[in-house]
């Protein structure tokens, strides 16, 4: 079906006020009314003008029409987005009819109109009513659009919980029936133990409904800011822990940072680089708390002076039979 540009049909700008729309409609309706017009296509143009007025004079219908966007042009091939024109009782239908049209009234609508509004609202074809030519408008309501936004937090905030102030742009219908956006500031509570990618639902905090419909929900998707020492996987926290060669060889008890503070960790004698040790329950909190995984990394002291070099030379002599690359063969 073809897209209809209702603003072009009435010859008004997209930001036209209701008075401008009413004047344009009255002028065109008188020009093309079948009882008085001598234009060859008067009846078709009259129906087209009536349909355009039916949408643009009603703030709710106008908002729904404007929500299609400004990329369409008259005559473009049009396919309604999902959820438009949902009939009464249809699964997932967002629009609710307040009254059913008669077959005679339904015939006044184009396929384009029906694809957006279903059987909502009737147009009278006779004189009288709005500006001498209008008819009745069927009421309808629509739930506001849901909205998704991202909130970036630190791992410490995820561990302890936090309150964040967010500024969002939310859609709403203005007094002229246009779909606009406005900035809104919210104080959001981030629960302790939230994980990356998790969505926090704020009921009724997104797009405003029309015709008494309820507001949409705001979904905040959690994103973790990069951390200098920790890395999260689900509720588990990973950390690379540098240790000295003698700590690895002899074993030691060392202090390890976690999101909940420092704890003691026993490094077993003979520990190797990349060996992982587990601190149970030291990850992000939850019904089943995550763990902290410590990956050991042996770091050698610098051999900058004669004494340090002599110490390494002594070790080399002591362990000259040791070949760290023995498993490579050759």
Q: What is the pLDDT of residue 305?
A: 93
> Phi then psi for 53, rounded to 5 degrees?
-65, -40
Cα–Cα dist 215/207, whole Å: 6
Domain boundary among 106, 141, 176: 141
> Phi then psi for 169, rounded to 5 degrees?
-100, 120
Cα–Cα dist 22/216, whole Å: 32
Average pLDDT value over all residues in the chain? 80
Cα–Cα dist 173/212, whole Å: 12
pLDDT band at 329 (very low <50, low <70, confident <90, very high): confident
Q: What pTM value is reported for the model?
A: 0.56
42-56 vs 59-66: helix crossing angle, rounded to 10:
100
**Contact between residue 21 and residue 12 where contact means Cβ atoms under 8 Å apart:** yes
Domain boundary among 163, 193, 224: 224
Do residue 83 and residue 168 come from a single domain? no
Instruction: Name 209's bridge partners.
Output: none
CATH value at residue 190: 2.60.260.20
Residue 185 lies in a domain: yes
Q: What percent of the chain has pLDDT over 70?
A: 78
**Contact between residue 182 and residue 169 where contact means Cβ atoms under 8 Å apart:** yes
> Phi then psi for 262, rounded to 5 degrees?
-75, 145
Question: Containing domain of residue 217, as a range?
Answer: 147-224
CATH value at residue 103: 1.10.287.110
Q: What is the pLDDT of residue 184?
A: 79
Pairing, β 236-243 against β 252-258: unpaired
The encoded tokens of residue 163 equal 């309150």
Do residue 122 and residue 238 come from a single domain? no
Residue 133 lies in a domain: yes
Do residue 213 and residue 181 come from a single domain? yes
Do residue 10 and residue 136 come from a single domain? yes
Q: Into how many domains does the chain fold?
A: 3
Handedness of CA 235, 236, 237, 238 (dihedral sign): negative
Is the pLDDT score of 29 beyond 70? yes
Is the pLDDT score of 124 beyond 50? no
Do residue 88 and residue 132 come from a single domain? yes
Residue 291 lies in a domain: yes
Reported as a single tens digit per residue, the pLDDT across 250-283 is: 999 999 999 999 999 999 999 999 999 999 999 9
The encoded tokens of residue 53 equal 């007025």
Domain boundary among 188, 208, 224: 224
Alpha carbon 143 to its chain centroid, in Å, reads 16
Do residue 55 and residue 131 come from a single domain? yes
Cα–Cα dist 93/86, whole Å: 5
Pairing, β 236-243 against β 292-298: parallel
pLDDT band at 80 (very low <50, low <70, confident <90, very high): low
* Counts of helices then strands in the chain (DSSP H, E): 9, 13
Burial pattern 21-43, b for ≥16 Cβ within 10 A else e, equals: bbebbbebbbebbeeebeeeebe
Residue 199 lies in a domain: yes
Cα–Cα dist 234/163, whole Å: 21
Instruction: Name 201's bridge partners.
Output: 219
Do residue 115 and residue 199 come from a single domain? no
Residue 1 lies in a domain: no
């Amino acid at each position: 079906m073809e897209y209809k540009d209702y603003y072009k049909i009435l010859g008004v700008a997209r930001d036209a006020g209701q008075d401008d729309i009413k004047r344009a409609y009255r002028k065109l309706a008188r020009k093309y009314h079948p009882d008085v017009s001598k234009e060859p296509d008067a009846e078709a143009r009259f129906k087209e003008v009536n349909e355009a007025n039916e949408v643009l004079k009603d703030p709710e219908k106008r908002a729904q029409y404007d929500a299609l966007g400004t990329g369409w042009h008259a005559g473009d091939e049009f396919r309604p987005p999902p959820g438009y024109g949902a009939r009464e009782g249809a699964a997932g239908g967002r629009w609710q009819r307040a009254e059913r049209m008669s077959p005679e009234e339904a015939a006044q609508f184009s396929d384009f109109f029906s694809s957006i509004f279903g059987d909502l609202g009737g147009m009278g074809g006779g004189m009288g009513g709005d500006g001498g030519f209008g008819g009745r408008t069927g009421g309808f309501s629509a739930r506001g659009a849901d909205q998704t936004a991202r909130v970036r937090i630190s791992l410490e905030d995820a561990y302890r919980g936090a309150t964040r102030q967010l500024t969002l742009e939310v859609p709403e219908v203005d007094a002229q029936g246009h779909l606009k956006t406005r900035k809104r500031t919210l104080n959001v509570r981030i629960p302790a133990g939230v994980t990356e990618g998790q969505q926090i639902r704020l009921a009724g905090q997104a797009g405003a409904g029309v015709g008494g419909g309820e507001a949409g929900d705001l979904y905040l998707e959690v994103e973790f800011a990069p951390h200098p020492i920790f890395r999260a996987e689900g509720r588990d926290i990973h950390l690379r822990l540098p240790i000295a060669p003698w700590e690895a060889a002899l074993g030691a008890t060392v202090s390890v940072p976690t999101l909940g503070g420092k704890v003691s960790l026993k490094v077993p004698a003979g520990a190797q680089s990349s060996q992982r040790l587990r601190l149970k329950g030291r990850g992000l909190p939850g019904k089943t708390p995550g763990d902290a995984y410590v990956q050991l990394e042996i770091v050698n002291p610098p051999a900058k002076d004669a004494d340090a070099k002599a110490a390494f030379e002594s070790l080399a002599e002591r362990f000259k039979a040791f070949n760290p690359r023995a498993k490579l063969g050759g």
